[in-house]
Amino acid sequence: MAFPKDDDELAAYHVWHSHIFGVDSVKRTLPDKERYQVHIGKYADSSARSKVANAVRRGVSAHEIDDEKDTY
């Protein structure tokens, strides 16, 4: 989700965002954007196969998924 850059009420946010994402210690913790988009895209198109993905598809918490009954 992108926040509008032409909204005066968000000016302070954009200053903060630009600053924080320019800090080396923050940059080192960020995933590669393209790889991350591929990863999260699996949740968007329902191709992710994991306990969390099953929970997302069902609209429940992951702890509600039964490992014995539910498949990934």
pLDDT at 51: 84
Count of alpha carbons within 13 angstroms of residue 5, beta-carbon side: 3
- Domains of the chain, by residue range, sit at 30-66
If residue 36 lies in a helix (H) or strand (E), which one and from where to where?
A: helix 33-44
**pLDDT tens, residue by residue, 45-71:** 888 888 888 888 888 888 888 776 666
**pLDDT tens, residue by residue, 17-55:** 999 999 999 999 999 999 999 988 998 888 888 888 888
